Structure 1
Amino acid sequence: MTAPKTLTGEHGGLATLVRAALPAVPGVNRLPGIRKGLARDFTGLAYSREAVVVERARVDAYAAVCGFPRRDVVPVTFPHLLAFPLHMAIMSDADFPYAAIGMVHVENAITAHRAIGVGEALDVTTSVATPRPHARGVLLDFTTTVSGEGRTAWESTSTYLRRGRSVDGDAAQGLEVPDPPTGGVEWRLPADLGRTYAAVSGDANPIHLHPLTARALGFPRQIAHGMWTLARSVAAIENRLPDAVTVEAAFKKPVLLPSTVRYAAGQDDAGWTFAMTNPKDGSPHLLGRTTPA
């Protein structure tokens, strides 16, 4: 893998979405600058952002949407927002062999090594290596490191599934949460949740915004962001987690909007487990666990 490419400014908005969508358009995807490279030639790609300031207004807006209290340190899931522009830069890069449209976020693992303060300036690097085999295609791990004060403060791996031809090797078993908690509380999620979260996160994927745009991409109506379901789940137990913590989650069935979901969490000797499910049939939307880091 070559040295990280430097990303300046905020990589997002309509221009980024258009650029990310073009490789999925037949004919257009053969044009120079849009045409993707071959998967067999892909050896990895990385992007970085330097001195990204954690802004109070954005942290507060994110906390309000996801259910966290207002504090002088950021929610454990917040640094994903700083990494997301790098995810989009990688997916939009001609050297990345897959179109961004069709990439499905299936798992996320976060390790916070310490609390990150509002106002800190952080260096953020995201890299992706060669794909891993999966029964329905390939898995791509987007690994992010957030550094401040000369040391790593936060790390994450966002795993995306790209359906289609797989690669050689044995498929690894995904995250398992044996005996997920049951019972809990019900949350009513509004129709505009995707738009509200997009406004603070920068993730304006059309599947989250309106019924029409979601249907164009194969969903009956808009769906909640997976990272919102994770953030909201963590927010419910945030005051019982240590500053140094690992949070892992598997995204299962999409959450259609509007809808009602059931949330439950339980503690054992290893940490917390949590689940967001469909209250009608118990099918999981998200399963997760936390352990001290």
Structure 2
Amino acid sequence: MASAPTSTTRELSAPPCTATLYAKAALPLIPGASALPFVAGGGKTIPRTTLTLNGVTADPDQLVSYDRVCGFTLRDTLPSTYLHIRAFPLHMALMTDGSFPFGAVGLVHLRNRITQLRPVGTTETFDLRVHTMPVQPHPKGRTFTIVSEARVGDELVWQDASTMLTRGKGSGGQEPRPVDDGPAPKDLPFVAEWRLAEDLGRRYGAASGDRNPIHMHALSAKLLGFPRAIAHGMWTKARCLAALESTLPDAYTVDVTFRRPILLPGKVAFAAEDGRFAVRNVKDSSKIHLEGRVTAA
């Protein structure tokens, strides 16, 4: 029987540079590069590595840009999704490590679940901790989840779980859906129509550091199989929370599933009722881009 991988913790002194990490993430696309030991895709199992980054604070200029592109009101507390973008460079560092079994380019973001245990002030200092969970079977391949935590001192204030799909030979059957006895996303009442500009991906990428080529330009998106650039899933989630901002409790969990990409430029419909919400096709409400739910934590 093979022994379980050794658990290791690495403390970082500064946030990793996402531009450098995206360049590294693209290396597996070069024929033969996957055989190099420092290129992701050669590992057999998800490494049991935890990355930590202490003494993190909100960048005021970044926060203003993030709030504007996502539609949040400028406040003295941080949007719960803003902490996700501060943890995101650590996600990329894990997924581009040479021991990681999958290349980061081509992964599909399936689901994101955030729990805010209390509001985090814009001037507070927090510590981040990020690790991956074991691989799970999926009808369309395999999935893994990256778990992030933020603490202020010894107090856990925020948690995040992002589930990613690597396509391949799947387990068969239907794709799992959230267990929910509420109305279907197509039946939620219409709230607003959002017009999304062609440069949305670049503006969100500049504010968040997430410059995945599928979001930046139509040309780079086409090279990776999309007809046009697509909106970031985490922008879509943040935009929904901004629309619900006045109704959010101090402590809550917001769980979303990403159903289909949003092509840019484009128009989408936002629908919501009693904590449930969805982003749908404007003309066909049965075509769901995102569905989610907010519950008091």
**What's the TM-score, normalizing by structure 2?**
0.91
Instruction: Tell whether 2:28 aligns with 1:23.
Output: yes
How far off its partner does 1:12 sit? 3.1
Q: In structure 2, do the counterparts of structure 1 residues 190 and 170 end up closer, same or farther at CA, with 3 Å as the change threshold?
A: closer
How far off its partner does 1:43 sit? 4.7
Tell me which moved more, 13-22 or 154-163.
13-22
Alignment gaps of 5+ in structure 2:
1-5
Work out the CA distance in 2 between the residues paired with 1:25 and 1:129: 28
Does the residue aligned with 2:66 lie in a helix, a strand or coil? helix
The corresponding residue for 2:156 is 152
| AA of the residue aligned to 1:277 | R
Q: Report if the CA contact (8 A) 2:254-2:292 is conserved.
A: yes
Work out the CA distance in 1 between the residues paired with 2:125 and 2:88: 17
Does the residue aligned with 2:226 lie in a helix, a strand or coil? coil
The corresponding residue for 2:280 is 277
The corresponding residue for 2:3 is none
Work out the CA distance in 1 between the residues paired with 2:153 and 2:46: 33
Q: Report if the CA contact (8 A) 2:218-2:227 is conserved.
A: yes
Work out the CA distance in 2 between the residues paired with 1:166 and 1:4: 31
Q: In structure 2, do the counterparts of structure 1 residues 218 and 174 end up closer, same or farther at CA, with 3 Å as the change threshold?
A: same
Work out the CA distance in 2 between the residues paired with 1:196 and 1:225: 11
Work out the CA distance in 1 between the residues paired with 2:40 and 2:92: 16
The corresponding residue for 1:119 is 123
Tell me which moved more, 11-20 or 98-107.
11-20
Does the residue aligned with 1:220 lie in a helix, a strand or coil? coil
Q: In structure 2, do the counterparts of structure 1 residues 170 and 111 end up closer, same or farther at CA, with 3 Å as the change threshold?
A: farther
The corresponding residue for 1:249 is 256
The corresponding residue for 1:286 is 290
Does the residue aligned with 1:194 lie in a helix, a strand or coil? helix
Q: In structure 2, do the counterparts of structure 1 residues 172 and 207 end up closer, same or farther at CA, with 3 Å as the change threshold?
A: closer
How far off its partner does 1:70 sit? 0.5
The corresponding residue for 2:191 is 184
| AA of the residue aligned to 1:47 | L
Q: Report if the CA contact (8 A) 2:43-2:98 is conserved.
A: no
Instruction: Tell whether 2:50 aligns with 1:46.
Output: yes
The corresponding residue for 2:91 is 87
Give a deviation string over 1:40-96, Cα, whole Å, max 9, x none: x43533211111112222222111111110001001211001110011000111111
Work out the CA distance in 1 between the residues paired with 2:278 and 2:174: 25
How far off its partner does 1:120 sit? 1.4
Work out the CA distance in 2 between the residues paired with 1:141 and 1:175: 16
Work out the CA distance in 2 between the residues paired with 1:196 and 1:151: 33
How far off its partner does 1:35 sit? 5.7
Q: Structure 1 runs of 4+ off > 6 angstroms?
A: 169-172
| AA of the residue aligned to 1:175 | P
Work out the CA distance in 2 between the residues paired with 1:170 and 1:86: 33
Work out the CA distance in 2 between the residues paired with 1:212 and 1:265: 34
Instruction: Tell whether 2:66 aligns with 1:66.
Output: no
**What's the TM-score, normalizing by structure 1?**
0.93
Does the residue aligned with 1:58 lie in a helix, a strand or coil? helix
Alignment coverage as a number of residue pairs: 287
The corresponding residue for 1:203 is 210
Instruction: Tell whether 2:109 aligns with 1:105.
Output: yes
Q: Report if the CA contact (8 A) 2:53-2:128 is conserved.
A: yes
Work out the CA distance in 2 between the residues paired with 1:203 and 1:43: 23
Work out the CA distance in 2 between the residues paired with 1:195 and 1:12: 17
Q: In structure 2, do the counterparts of structure 1 residues 247 and 8 end up closer, same or farther at CA, with 3 Å as the change threshold?
A: same
Alignment gaps of 5+ in structure 1:
none
Work out the CA distance in 1 between the residues paired with 2:146 and 2:174: 17
Work out the CA distance in 2 between the residues paired with 1:106 and 1:139: 9
Instruction: Tell whether 2:217 aligns with 1:214.
Output: no
- Aligned-residue CA RMSD (Å): 1.9
Work out the CA distance in 1 between the residues paired with 2:21 and 2:74: 31
Q: In structure 2, do the counterparts of structure 1 residues 171 and 149 end up closer, same or farther at CA, with 3 Å as the change threshold?
A: farther
Work out the CA distance in 1 between the residues paired with 2:22 and 2:232: 16
Equivalent of 1:161 in 158, 165, 174: 165
